Structure 1
Amino acid sequence: MLMMDDIIRDGHPTLRKVAAEVSMPPSEEDREILKSLLEYVQNSQDPELSSKYKLRPGIGLAAPQINVSKRMIAVHLLDDKGNLISYALYNPKIVSHSVEKAYLVSGEGCLSVDENFPGFVERFARITVKGISLEGEEVKLRLKGLPAICFQHEIDHLNGIMFYDHINKQDPFKPIEGAIAIER
């Protein structure tokens, strides 16, 4: 089981690398890593387990965050209608996105970043993601709202990009023209 000590922190060189594609079919080691990413986000949202093991709650985790520079992510959250969006994916990629932008009013956080980076993180309002599930199936997801933002955040990790790279340095809370403000 992954613990907070397994998650590398901001400044670690792996977080700024472009992660390697995972060969298909995945090795047993890659399967275990991907399973552990999903297990962490699920456990971290369970009040009893997160308290017992001192897990910081998270809705997504990427392999580079546990110092594995491979293209794997896990996401576990509810959309705005209360539907569970729970995926562990190999080689996820954004295949299309809206012109329209969106951002979280509360800003974004990251399990690899201990300090607070206030500001609006500009994202696409809607995206389509393709990837390979733990079971080896090709998955195509159309996402909007918080799930779309979460997937963009995790896929950024695979490209060595941190969420705060998207914040306007001169004016962190400058309104984003025509963007959808998402309450979390």
Structure 2
Amino acid sequence: MILMDHIVREGHPALRKRAEEVKFPLSSDDRELSKDLLEYVIGSQIPEISDEFGLRPGIGLAAPQLNKSKRIFALHITGTNQETISFVAINPKIVSHSVEKTYLASGEGCLSVDRDVEGYVPRYARITIKAFDMEGQEYKKRLKGLAAIAFQHELDHLNGVMFFDHIDKKMPFKEIPGATPFERD
């Protein structure tokens, strides 16, 4: 089980490296890593589990955050207006995106960042993605809203980019042209 102590923090070199493509069939280590990432994001959102193990709730977690240079991440998002979105993405890519931008009105956070970073992080409002599951099957999904924002956040981790790299340093709350703020439920 992944605990907070296993998650590397801001300043760790693994967070600034481009992660390596994963080969199929998955090694037992890569399969275990995939399951552990998903288990963390699911468990961290269940108060009894997060309290018992001291987990910070998160909706996404990427392999580089565990000091593993692998192009793998997991997302688990539940919303009142939408179905649960829960999956592991291996070697993920964005294949198309909207012109329209969005951003989390409350700002983004990260399990690898132990401080509040204020400011708007511009993201595409809608994306179409391709990735592989643990069986090596390619899948395609259309994501919007929080799922699209979280996917882009985690994909950035695989490319050595932190969310705050996208925030305007001089004017963190500067209006983003063509963007609609996204409010979490």
Asked if TM exceeds 0.5, the reply is: yes
CA contact under 8 A between 1:121 and 1:167: conserved in structure 2?
Answer: yes
Worse overlay, 9-18 or 170-179: 170-179
- Equivalent-residue separation in structure 1 for 2:136 and 2:176 (angstroms): 38
- Equivalent-residue separation in structure 2 for 1:58 and 1:126 (angstroms): 21
Residue of structure 2 equivalent to 1:179: 179
Residue of structure 1 equivalent to 2:69: 69
Residue of structure 1 equivalent to 2:16: 16
1:163-178 alignment to 2 at 5 Å? 163-178=163-178
Q: Give the count of matched residue pairs.
A: 184
Structure 1 segments of 4+ aligned residues over 6 angstroms from their partners: none
TM-score computed with the length of structure 2 as normaliser: 0.97
Residue of structure 2 equivalent to 1:92: 92
- Equivalent-residue separation in structure 1 for 2:79 and 2:71 (angstroms): 24
Residue of structure 2 equivalent to 1:139: 139
- The Cα of 1:79 is off from its aligned counterpart by 4.8
CA contact under 8 A between 1:79 and 1:147: conserved in structure 2?
Answer: no
CA contact under 8 A between 1:17 and 1:160: conserved in structure 2?
Answer: yes
Q: Counterpart of 1:93 in structure 2: which amino acid?
A: K
Residue of structure 2 equivalent to 1:35: 35
Q: Counterpart of 1:46 in structure 2: which amino acid?
A: I
1:55-134 alignment to 2 at 5 Å? 55-79=55-79, 81-134=81-134
Q: Tell me the alpha carbon deviations over residues 93-122 of structure 1, each in whole angstroms, 9 at most, x when there is no partner.
A: 111111110000000000000011100000
- Equivalent-residue separation in structure 2 for 1:146 and 1:9 (angstroms): 23
CA contact under 8 A between 2:37 and 2:61: conserved in structure 1?
Answer: yes
- The Cα of 1:61 is off from its aligned counterpart by 0.3
Q: Tell me the alpha carbon deviations over residues 73-107 of structure 1, each in whole angstroms, 9 at most, x when there is no partner.
A: 00000256230000012101111111110000000
CA contact under 8 A between 1:79 and 1:145: conserved in structure 2?
Answer: no
- The Cα of 1:25 is off from its aligned counterpart by 1.2
Q: Counterpart of 1:85 in structure 2: which amino acid?
A: I
- Equivalent-residue separation in structure 2 for 1:10 and 1:33 (angstroms): 21
Q: Which runs of 5+ in 1 are unaligned?
A: none
- The Cα of 1:139 is off from its aligned counterpart by 1.2
Equivalent pairs: percent with the same residue? 61
- Equivalent-residue separation in structure 2 for 1:88 and 1:62 (angstroms): 10
Residue of structure 2 equivalent to 1:26: 26
- Equivalent-residue separation in structure 2 for 1:117 and 1:49 (angstroms): 26
- Kindly tell me: are residues 80 and 145 of structure 1, through their superposed partners in 2, closer, same or farther at Cα, counting changes over 3 Å? farther
CA contact under 8 A between 2:74 and 2:88: conserved in structure 1?
Answer: yes
- Equivalent-residue separation in structure 2 for 1:74 and 1:135 (angstroms): 15
Q: Tell me the alpha carbon deviations over residues 140-180 of structure 1, each in whole angstroms, 9 at most, x when there is no partner.
A: 01001000000000000000000000001110001111201
- Equivalent-residue separation in structure 2 for 1:134 and 1:27 (angstroms): 10
